[in-house]
């Protein structure tokens, strides 16, 4: 004869029977489902990371191209500015050649040269009689005085 308690346990649907049913099987199924969800979440995060990395690489390449373009534009601008100045100085050089041939007219050459340079923003300063101030003046030569030699 069998024990009535064994019969109740045999009829318990949550009891682990070792046949893939019962509380252990439910826990395993739940753990497997959680693992799948974690894998999907990790895959989504990896995809998002890769998208950000690609965006960063594109941004970095765009910035490098921008720097190269700006350097090229600045170089072209400087070349055009130098070309324009040379074109303005050509008449002055012609006047200088004529003055050399005739041994006169150097005042006219100087006036032409100064006119071109003033149009380009150069301003002549006459510091005659003023003491040398290194904050305002640039020294182009130094002549020793008698008391410097000692």
Contact in structure between 7 and 15 (CB atoms under 8 Å): no
Mean pLDDT along residues 122-144: 77
More confident residue, 8 or 139: 139
Task: Tell which residue, 93, 147, 132, has the closest CA to residue 116.
Answer: 93
pLDDT, residue 29, reads 87
Residue 92 CB neighbour total at 10 angstroms: 19
Runs of H (alpha helix) within the chain: 4-11, 23-102, 106-119
Give the span between the Cα atoms of 6 and 138, in whole angstroms.
111
Tokens encoding 56: 């960063």
Given this model, what pLDDT does residue 1 score?
53
Task: Tell me the whole-structure pTM to 2 decimals.
Answer: 0.44
Q: What is the pLDDT of residue 5?
A: 54
pLDDT surpasses 90 at 14: no
pLDDT of 13 strictly over 80? no
pLDDT at residue 21, as a whole number: 54
Q: What is the pLDDT of residues 48-100, one digit of tens each?
A: 999 999 999 999 999 999 999 999 999 999 998 888 888 888 888 888 888 88
Token pair for 9: 């346990």
């Amino acid at each position: 004869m069998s024990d009535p308690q064994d019969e109740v346990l045999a009829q318990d649907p949550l009891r682990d029977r070792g046949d893939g049913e019962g509380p252990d099987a439910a826990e395993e199924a739940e753990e497997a489902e959680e693992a799948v969800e974690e894998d999907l979440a990790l895959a989504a995060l990896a995809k998002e990371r890769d998208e950000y990395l690609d965006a960063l690489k594109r941004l970095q390449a765009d910035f490098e191209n921008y720097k190269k373009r700006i350097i090229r534009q600045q170089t072209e601008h400087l070349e055009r500015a130098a070309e324009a100045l040379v074109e303005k100085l050509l008449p002055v050089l012609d006047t200088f050649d004529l003055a050399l041939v005739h041994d006169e007219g150097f005042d006219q050459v100087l006036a032409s040269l100064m006119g071109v340079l003033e149009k380009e923003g150069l301003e002549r300063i006459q510091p005659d009689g003023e003491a040398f101030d290194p904050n305002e003046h640039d020294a182009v030569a130094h002549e020793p005085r008698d008391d410097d030699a000692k």
